[in-house]
Amino acid sequence: MNKNPNNHCPKILTAIVTVTFVAVMYVNQQALIYQMGLKVKQNNDVYAKLVDHNKIMVYNVLNLRSPVSLGRKLLAKEVELSMPSKWQVVKIDHSPEKIVLQGKNLANIARTR
């Protein structure tokens, strides 16, 4: 029998390296799981905020009132409005209606030729 203690060294060293590798991989997986959990929580928080914002926007759209109702609210709150100065007004030469009408006119001209 060979009772040399050096014969057990490669087996023990291999076992230590294997156990260490498995332990490091386990810790790495746990860290990744924790990070994914944080991301899921952040996504849920963002989702909840977006749902709340959507509900508010839907409520605002459903409660749109006529200009008369808006005028009554402004009068009730005693809001004073004034006409804007010329430099505060932007004039657009071509409205979408004019462009559509011009397109129809061009179509009529093309048909007559």
Structural domain range at position 16: 5-112
Confidence of residue 96 (pLDDT cuts 50, 70, 90): low
For the segment 41-62, the average pLDDT, to the nearest whole number, is: 89
Q: What is the pTM of this model?
A: 0.43
Number of structural domains found in the chain: 1
pLDDT of 94? 63
- In whole angstroms, give the CA distance from residue 21 to residue 28: 11
- In whole angstroms, give the CA distance from residue 14 to residue 21: 10
Confidence of residue 1 (pLDDT cuts 50, 70, 90): very low
pLDDT single digits (tens) 68-83: 777 787 788 887 777 7
- In whole angstroms, give the CA distance from residue 103 to residue 96: 10
Q: Does an H or E element contain 53, and which? A: helix 9-62
For the segment 59-71, the average pLDDT, to the nearest whole number, is: 75
Q: Which residue has the tokens 């093309």?
A: 110
- List of long-range contacts for 28-36, beta carbons under 8 Å, 24+ apart: none
pLDDT of 109? 56
What is the pLDDT of the chain when averaged over all its residues?
A: 79
